[in-house]
Structure 1
Amino acid sequence: MGAKGRETLLDAKPILKVLALLLVVLAAFMIPPIVLLGLESDPDLWAFLKSLALVATVSVGLLVWTWRTPVELKTRDMFVLTTLSWVSISAFASLPLILGAPQLSFTDAVFESVSAITTTGSTVLTKIELLSDGLKLWRGLMQWLGGIGIIVMAIAILPFLKVGGMRLFQTESSDWSDKVLPRAGGIAKASTVIYLGFTLAAILCYRLAGMGTLDAIVHAMSSVSTGGFANYDASFGIYRDRPVILWLGCLFMLAGALPFVLYIRLVRDSRGALWQDQQVRGLVMVLAIVIGVLTLYRMLAFGEVPFAALTAVAFNVISVVTTTGYSSEDYSLWGPLAVTTFFFITFIGGCSGSTSGGMKIFRFQIGGLMLLNQLRYLVHPSGVFAQRYNGRPLNDEVVRAVIAFSFFFFLTFAVLALALAAMGLDMVTAITGAATALANVGPGLGETIGPAGNFLSLPAAAKWLLCVGMLMGRLEILTVLLLLMPFFWRK
């Protein structure tokens, strides 16, 4: 092997060592389903034991090989690691779905696991209520693991890589860390504690509201992670006659969609931290407007009583905007205004530093500020107008990153939609499938992949393409796109 080959091999070792540690975490997450299946003497126990053995073997092998390698990652290594970590975890997480009772094909199993780890919530499974308790728990655990991974990535990795305008929040995190915690790692640990606290609170609330124990655990994990996997084909429609459960779902979905760093500040030194944040106010304003308009629309169009209309609209709108993907009913039957509205709010997403996907509310706000300033320039060409966000000046680096991200987001969306259409999917399925994958929302619109359908009937090639879309959406587009550029790999 030449010197160049040896250098490349050595450069890969730190990345492989981190991947091995992440696989150890994945193996640990397989233990709760194993214990549950063992107690129930369920045949799926063997599927999880085999999966655990394989993951453990690979991770131990990599750790032994890279044991003496220091973990010193350069910026280029971080881009590779970020993408490889989500791909590898999704691949190994699919094993119980292949070896277990569903016996999914490799394509379907990977689709399900990618959807779970990216907290998208799209599914190829039917008769979910008949799955073993261990597999139901595993689906929730995958989303919970993906949710905390998203928070850590948004706080500690993406701002460092200057991806999609996230640099703006590195500045904030740095300032807050001086007051709250000494390092970004400390903020990530505190966020994990808060994430766990929200999950435990959700489990307790769901249980007290009438859910069974397993349902409460799984739905708590998929609510706080804004993942959207449910234990029933009807999603939260199984609880339509229990409004308290739907409102609890709204509460915990919204909690997962807010910046977790703000929760730290809220607890430690600032009671008004949440409402003072421009992202949070923007998200609440969008939700209030959309929920208000659609509630009035349902009351006028269907003669529905106010509370019932408000409950249904609030739950489904919050689910889509936060990119959770639950549904309490088939909102594609609500009429043209509702369907069109749900399509557009698919792109919004929650706040930066949360578990939500989508474009994130801050990018729309910054776009609005840029538009307003441009209009001012038309009237006052020689004027100087400062652009500020959350009380901080917007530098050119952040503005360029937001513009680049937005452009490539919609370009990727167009390419995905056209590719899906070329595979024979109808226009609604192709367009909303691309949107829901890239925004990590879950269900699309239409009879096939709408709230009342799933992704099982799609061609295998379409499922692989959607997997790519889900990963790109979760990793903020540019992180993956950069790996496809030849100049990235040049010394």
Structure 2
Amino acid sequence: MNGSVILRVLSGFLGLFAIPTFACSVWAFQNDRYQQASLFITAFMTSAVVSAILAVATHHRRQEYAQARDVVGFLIFGWLILAILGAIPFLLVADGSIAAALFEAVSCATTTGTTLLNDGLLLPASLVAWRGILHILGAILSVSGVVMVVNLVGSSLPGLSSSIPMRFNTDFSRESFFRIFLSLGAMIVGLCVLFAIPILIDGGSLRAAFGLSVGALTTGKVFDVGAYAFNPGWLSELTLILALIIGSVNIVLLFNCFRKPKSFFLNFETIAVVVLIAVLAVLLFSILPKGIDPFRIIGIAASIVSTSGLVIGEGDGISIPVPVLLFFGFVGGAAISATGGMKIYRISVLLARAGHEFQRLAQPNAVLNFEKNGERFPVNFVLTVWAYLVAFAVISIFLAASLALMGADFQDAIMTALGSITNSAALIPTEWIRNSAQTGLVEFSLSAFMILGRLELLLLLSLVLSD
């Protein structure tokens, strides 16, 4: 890895990180939350000072050759920064527990959304904003990472490069990172504002509109729907469903949506997400008690498939059979990603490969090329897809076994393992974690695997496919 390039880009990222941190510190201070403000100021000063040191140390390294693995190196450090510095403001509400504060920060930054804070704890406004900010920063970091990797890997990644409607600088530098990060950030923030307006019209408070729109669009969970005594009407429910769908599909296609709307609505990833939600909604209609609002049921289905858990209350989660949660949560987590639907693309490649193998069985002496939609695939790419699926299963089994040793029963271990790897708040049961004799160790373990779950695609793309 090119360390000087990574450090220079990190200096820019820390500088960006310091801006919302300072805003939250001012907000907390104005609300007479002086202890909370001091924690925000600590995070702000740390990020600002480290950013300045890295900028000075690498000022002569403005343009250097970088590979896709350098992007992954930056992303690893980027999420560590979000985890460590993002955890500082949570120390007060986590009763000084470093493990609990770290878990909250990682859960937000990876857009998982699970919280282990005490039930009924009303967070100050600055911390609610902080949870939303970490969700947004994590989503932007994830999507911008894929854009940079695809640009650097280029034509060796069949099909995926064509789904990027605008190509940024092909070099990896602080300037190109700023351009990508700010472009995607402006789009995500703009969409959050757009989806917050119907919730405000429906009678929701500004805090509820902000948290729900951010949680839905980033497929995370800033807080539960009922956390602030807001009973969403049909307009809010429809808005959240649309936001969950948009947050689950190929977000970079939105850049081209106005010029080529068919490229978004007829995209395989978009169709696959809608079909999965429709199938689960029909199943839920048949197994849930009668009289539940249809929009609510569709919202629960969208929540599970999108790995959000946003619109699932405790009552709804208990009434849904565990096999249904596991199956659709696993499919959603294995096939859908905030990085732009690229996991679905991998599944479609495997299906095409299966058809190719049947052709070989029928015509063993024929000369066949593996193609999909007229596009040939190198062996390395297919092996990468298989490697991801095998690694996904092995890591899930390993984590489930480890959690069982920490006191989880079979059901909780399986659901927690899959929930953390797929960054799905819908799957993670929190009660056993709070009651565990090794709560700190469980929180540290889940934090590490949530970051791994967010990085897996990028690691395989860069380390296997790059030169």
State if a TM-score over 0.5 links the two structures.
yes
Q: Pick closer, same or farther for the CA change 1:388–1:246 going to 2, 3 Å.
A: farther
Q: What is residue 105 of structure 1 aligned with on the other side?
A: 97
* Aligned counterparts of 2:365 and 2:313: Cα–Cα separation in 1: 54
Q: What is residue 10 of structure 2 aligned with on the other side?
A: 19
Shift of 1:169: 4.8
SS of the residue corresponding to residue 92 of structure 1 reads helix
Contact 2:8–2:54, Cα closer than 8 Å, also in 1: yes
C-alpha distance after superposition, 1:135-191 (max 9, x if no partner): 1110111001111111111222266469xx9923543146x447xx78696776544
Q: What is residue 168 of structure 1 aligned with on the other side?
A: 158
**Do structure 1's residue 203 and structure 2's residue 196 form an aligned pair?**
yes
* Aligned counterparts of 1:391 and 1:235: Cα–Cα separation in 2: 50
**Do structure 1's residue 246 and structure 2's residue 226 form an aligned pair?**
no
**Do structure 1's residue 465 and structure 2's residue 442 form an aligned pair?**
no
Contact 2:25–2:37, Cα closer than 8 Å, also in 1: yes
Q: What is residue 322 of structure 1 aligned with on the other side?
A: 306
TM-score (norm 1): 0.82
Question: Which of 399, 411, 414 is matched with 1:428 structurally?
Answer: 411
Shift of 1:134: 0.5
Question: Which of 68, 81, 85 is matched with 2:74 structurally?
Answer: 81
* Aligned counterparts of 1:400 and 1:480: Cα–Cα separation in 2: 10
**Do structure 1's residue 476 and structure 2's residue 456 form an aligned pair?**
yes
SS of the residue corresponding to residue 330 of structure 2 reads coil
Letter in 1 for 2:328: I
Shift of 1:360: 2.7
Contact 2:388–2:460, Cα closer than 8 Å, also in 1: no
C-alpha distance after superposition, 1:195-218 (max 9, x if no partner): 222111012122112111122122
Q: What is residue 361 of structure 1 aligned with on the other side?
A: 344
SS of the residue corresponding to residue 374 of structure 1 reads helix
Question: Which of 402, 415, 429 is matched with 2:398 structurally?
Answer: 415
SS of the residue corresponding to residue 456 of structure 2 reads coil
Question: Which of 115, 120, 123 is matched with 1:131 structurally?
Answer: 123
Q: What is residue 64 of structure 1 aligned with on the other side?
A: 56
Is there any run of 5+ residues in structure 1 with no aligned partner, and where? 1-7, 486-491
Shift of 1:358: 9.3
Q: What is residue 266 of structure 2 aligned with on the other side?
A: 276
Letter in 2 for 1:194: M
Q: What is residue 382 of structure 1 aligned with on the other side?
A: 365
Shift of 1:368: 2.1
Letter in 1 for 2:284: L
Shift of 1:470: 0.6
Letter in 1 for 2:137: L
* Aligned counterparts of 1:454 and 1:155: Cα–Cα separation in 2: 38
Shift of 1:263: 1.3
Contact 1:191–1:260, Cα closer than 8 Å, also in 2: no
Letter in 2 for 1:228: K
Moved more, 374-383 or 289-298: 374-383
Q: Pick closer, same or farther for the CA change 1:215–1:309 going to 2, 3 Å.
A: closer
Letter in 1 for 2:318: L
SS of the residue corresponding to residue 475 of structure 1 reads helix
Q: Pick closer, same or farther for the CA change 1:344–1:55 going to 2, 3 Å.
A: same
**Do structure 1's residue 262 and structure 2's residue 253 form an aligned pair?**
yes
Contact 1:33–1:134, Cα closer than 8 Å, also in 2: yes
Q: Pick closer, same or farther for the CA change 1:45–1:126 going to 2, 3 Å.
A: same
Contact 1:226–1:356, Cα closer than 8 Å, also in 2: no
* Aligned counterparts of 2:461 and 2:185: Cα–Cα separation in 1: 29
Q: Pick closer, same or farther for the CA change 1:353–1:231 going to 2, 3 Å.
A: closer
Letter in 1 for 2:100: D
Letter in 1 for 2:452: M
Contact 1:95–1:109, Cα closer than 8 Å, also in 2: yes
* Aligned counterparts of 1:117 and 1:454: Cα–Cα separation in 2: 23
Letter in 2 for 1:244: L
Letter in 2 for 1:474: R
Q: What is residue 284 of structure 2 aligned with on the other side?
A: 294
Q: Where does 1:114-125 land on structure 2 (aligned, <5 Å)?
A: 114-125=106-117
Contact 2:305–2:333, Cα closer than 8 Å, also in 1: yes
C-alpha distance after superposition, 1:54-105 (max 9, x if no partner): 222222222222222335253343332221221122111111112x444441
Contact 2:335–2:341, Cα closer than 8 Å, also in 1: no
Q: Pick closer, same or farther for the CA change 1:440–1:23 going to 2, 3 Å.
A: same
Shift of 1:220: 1.8
Shift of 1:454: 7.8
Identity %: 22
Contact 2:149–2:458, Cα closer than 8 Å, also in 1: no
Contact 2:215–2:221, Cα closer than 8 Å, also in 1: yes
**Do structure 1's residue 393 and structure 2's residue 381 form an aligned pair?**
no
Letter in 2 for 1:333: I
Contact 1:350–1:356, Cα closer than 8 Å, also in 2: no
C-alpha distance after superposition, 1:263-289 (max 9, x if no partner): 122222x12111221121122222211
Shift of 1:353: 9.7
* Aligned counterparts of 1:189 and 1:36: Cα–Cα separation in 2: 23
* Aligned counterparts of 2:312 and 2:339: Cα–Cα separation in 1: 19
* Aligned counterparts of 2:277 and 2:156: Cα–Cα separation in 1: 23
**Do structure 1's residue 405 and structure 2's residue 397 form an aligned pair?**
no
Shift of 1:407: 1.1
* Aligned counterparts of 1:123 and 1:358: Cα–Cα separation in 2: 26
Q: Where does 1:429-444 land on structure 2 (aligned, <5 Å)?
A: 429-444=412-427
Contact 2:143–2:340, Cα closer than 8 Å, also in 1: no
Shift of 1:32: 2.9
* Aligned counterparts of 2:40 and 2:153: Cα–Cα separation in 1: 36
* Aligned counterparts of 1:166 and 1:36: Cα–Cα separation in 2: 47
Moved more, 36-45 or 19-28: 36-45
- RMSD, aligned α-carbons: 3.3
Question: Which of 96, 119, 132 is matched with 2:89 structurally?
Answer: 96
Q: What is residue 29 of structure 2 aligned with on the other side?
A: 38
**Do structure 1's residue 285 and structure 2's residue 278 form an aligned pair?**
no
